[in-house]
Chain A
Amino acid sequence: MNFIVVLASFPQLLEGLLITLALSAASIVGSTLLGLLAATLRVSRVPIGSQIARIYVEVFRGSPLLITLLFVYFGSAYAGYHMNIFAAAVVGISVYQGAYIAEIIRAGIESVPPGQWEASKILGLSNSQTFVSVVLPQTGKIVLPPLIGQYIALIKDTSIAFVIGLAELVRQGQAIIDRVGQPLAVYVTIAALYFIICYPLSRWVRGLEKRSQPA
């Protein structure tokens, strides 16, 4: 392993890292909004809405992210609408991860005891008022650990945008390898960068889980 060569190309890796971080941030926002919407639809019992939300969740959780990315990127091109790679990656990852996040939020909503709904009804709150100001705030403690866990998965999954040609961290690494070789040194460096981002988050999740569970 020759890390000197890698060090010389480090600026290129940082460029990739920046794109990985931007993609992660945008997709976290997108997937959380979509997940919240789908979860709300799902529990709302609005006849068609909750069915659509259900199918959405089922389809994306039963198929690979890569297919979703290909669908969005090439599909939009075939449909005559040219999307840039970054936008396609944000849309694909948000839609895909949104399905997982929807289930996490739904589990959180359903963990709020029905008595909370009943008590609010008696106080004269409408269903949507109850949902927004009574139920959702209570889901935080239950939802946060798996939600952060899902964000970690999302950050790692941004690497899959490699396949549609986004110049994120792994693709920049591959470019360096094509130029100077040293695959192991390059991969170890990339792994270290991901690790530095994900490991603290993982520790945080573990801390949250421990706290939410009475020993």
Chain B
Amino acid sequence: MSNLEPIIKLAGVTKSFGAVQVLKGIDLHVSEGEVLVVIGASGSGKSTVLRIMSGLETADSGQVWVNSVPLHDPRRAREIRGHVGMVFQQFNLFPHLTALGNVTLALLKVRKLSAEVAKKKALAVLDRVGLAEKAGNYPSQLSGGQQQRVAIARALAVEPTIMFFDEATSALDPELVGEVTSVMRSLADEGMTMVVVTHEMSFARKTADRVVFMDQGIIAEQGPPEQLFVRPQNDRTKQFLQRVLEV
């Protein structure tokens, strides 16, 4: 794949749930290695965009290319599975498996690695998020921040080309947010392509290459963080930033 060709391309994407149109035509490109942060009010459609890009939802119309897979084509959409990583607000760790078990599951069942190789690889990834010594713990025996780092390790283990984060720190106690954002930041530094939905404006400011502001199902404004945060053009963006930055 050429470096110039965007790794994610959305064109005219719409999505409705029942009578409610949640996405009203989204056009968006993300290049390889880019860190894109998506902000916006609750219900503006951020999660839905992320879920469409990761293949969890199908768009009603428009085109969605991710990693050269046409996700708008139901027959081919499955091809994206195992090639992108997703980190959820609620962690979604498998509670019946240890941290190690969570990370090795896909290595064993999808990559078909031997138990030994999978374990070695999983421990290396857990070490990367600073949790090698917690490998034997079950999720219920870990703090929220540790659980989320295991979830990141689980996603990283399959060597995804893109990582999606949907409010990865929103369910955490404030003092635990830092340990997760610092892992995310190190990933960004290593050149991982990332799409991050977050309410952490400081993370957006420091780490994003580009910030997208979503409002009522459309992209109302986008640009580099220094522009969007310092000189927002759109009134809705201004209002939103005023509200979140005041707190």
Direct contact of A and B (CB under 8 A): no
Which residues of B approach A to under 8 Å, CB–CB? none
